[in-house]
Amino acid sequence: MKLKDKIICLDRLGKWILTFDETLEAAIAQTYIHNKWFTKENTHRSLEGISNQFLTQKKLTAWVEKEQLNDDSGSGKKVGLILAGNIPCVGFHDWLCVIISGHEALVKLSDKDKFILPLLDKYLKEIGFDTKTKFVDRLNDMEAVIATGSNNTARYFESYFGKYPNIIRKNRNAIAILDGTESSDELKALGEDIFTYFGLGCRSTSKLYLPEGYDFEPMLEAFKTYNDLIHHNKYKNNFDFNYTLMIMNKVKHQSAGLILLVEDESLTSRIGTLHYEYYNDIEKLQAAINSQKENIQCVGTKMKLAKVNTIQLGKAQRPGLADYADGVNTIAFLKSI
């Protein structure tokens, strides 16, 4: 199938997603019944992002031109995909890279998210794009692997799949750097980076770097925008558990009513908590961040930093086609196998 025809089909898929017809809504409802973290609102948000950020003819055309894809780019290799299940449809981009580059996808879905991607694949096949995708319970006969999981599962992936060309992804987190002059709207945008998908994504902001003497009140006020989050049963259970631990262990913290702010050097924070750390030298901070870049997915800030790649506050959960996970160009990898 010609690349231009694939793009036309993918554009149609993007438009169909936004109709949220009864077939898609049924899959969304089934997903929520199976996994309470995947609320209807969050799955809608993820699918809308996929449609608007990935599946437009203009964006797809610019992307494949930048990556120098053409009708002969793919070698038709069988690529195994082990998809994560931390946020809805998180593996869509990897799958898209495989099918648009001319390879066959052998997809091992996460048990937490197994209904929607097969439906999207079915739609593409019905409108003439044979994606050569198979959904499998076990990977066999693959010639390359893209696997996403935790730091623990990554060790198993490396053991099992190390003999194949591979991309193996581990835990990552997003961070944000504030200078204390952020407006209310910018702090609300930061809240979007923190609270979207309950903070479960690798692009979810889990750590703040704050100037010494930072005034928390404007931030805590801005975060009230997201107060409805605390009504989600699983999130509230995590919040209550962590709050109890902090009280029992006399851990100093700040509470926004829906999240606990704790001074901690770790980049990774528990559900319902947010770590922060003070800085007094921006040059040293940039060096420290770069020394941990293998653990950082993206850096949100309004500041102009010379030595760190950054994005705007509020953009962490809105990746584009060229925002490859872990900074590894998936298309370049697929062209090389």
What is the tens place of the pLDDT at every residue in 256-274?
899 999 999 999 999 999 9
DSSP 54: I
How far does Cα 325 stand from its chain's mean position?
8
Closest CA to 20 of 48, 55, 53, 59: 48
Residue after which a domain boundary falls, among 117, 146, 170? 170
* Across 86-95, average pLDDT: 97
What pLDDT does 256 receive? 87
Q: Are residues 228 and 110 in the same domain?
A: no
Q: Cα separation of 160 and 144, whole Å? A: 12
Q: Are residues 19 and 163 in the same domain?
A: yes
Q: Are residues 71 and 178 in the same domain?
A: no
What pLDDT does 263 receive? 97
Q: Work out the mean pLDDT of the chain and round it to a whole number.
A: 96
Is the distance from CB of 107 to CB of 95 less than 8 angstroms? yes
Q: Cα separation of 235 and 143, whole Å? A: 40
Count of domains for the chain:
2
Q: Are residues 159 and 241 in the same domain?
A: no
Q: Are residues 259 and 290 in the same domain?
A: yes
The enclosing domain of 124 has a CATH number of: 3.40.605.10
Residue 279's DSSP bridge partners are 211
Is the distance from CB of 117 to CB of 107 less than 8 angstroms? yes
Q: Are residues 208 and 232 in the same domain?
A: yes
What is the tens place of the pLDDT at every residue in 35-73?
999 999 999 999 999 999 999 999 999 999 999 998 876
The enclosing domain of 209 has a CATH number of: 3.40.309.10
Q: CB-based contacts of 183: which residues, under 8 Å, 6+ apart?
A: none
Residue 315 lies in a domain: no
SS3 for 274?
strand
Indicate if the pLDDT at residue 74 is higher than 90.
no
Indicate if the pLDDT at residue 283 is higher than 70.
yes
What is the tens place of the pLDDT at every residue in 102-133?
999 999 999 999 999 999 999 999 999 999 99
What pLDDT does 151 receive? 87
Residue 134's DSSP bridge partners are 106
Residue 319 lies in a domain: no
* Across 142-165, average pLDDT: 93
pTM for this structure? Answer: 0.95
Look up residue 241 and give its amino acid: F
Look up residue 111 and give its amino acid: D
What pLDDT does 44 receive? 98
SS3 for 315?
coil
What pLDDT does 72 receive? 74
Q: Could you give the strand order of the β-sheet that contains 166-169, starting from the edge strand earlier in sequence?
A: 133-135, 104-108, 78-82, 144-148, 166-169
Domain that holds residue 276: 173-301
Q: Cα separation of 87 and 154, whole Å? A: 18
Q: Are residues 134 and 222 in the same domain?
A: no
Q: Are residues 256 and 295 in the same domain?
A: yes
Residue after which a domain boundary falls, among 124, 147, 170? 170
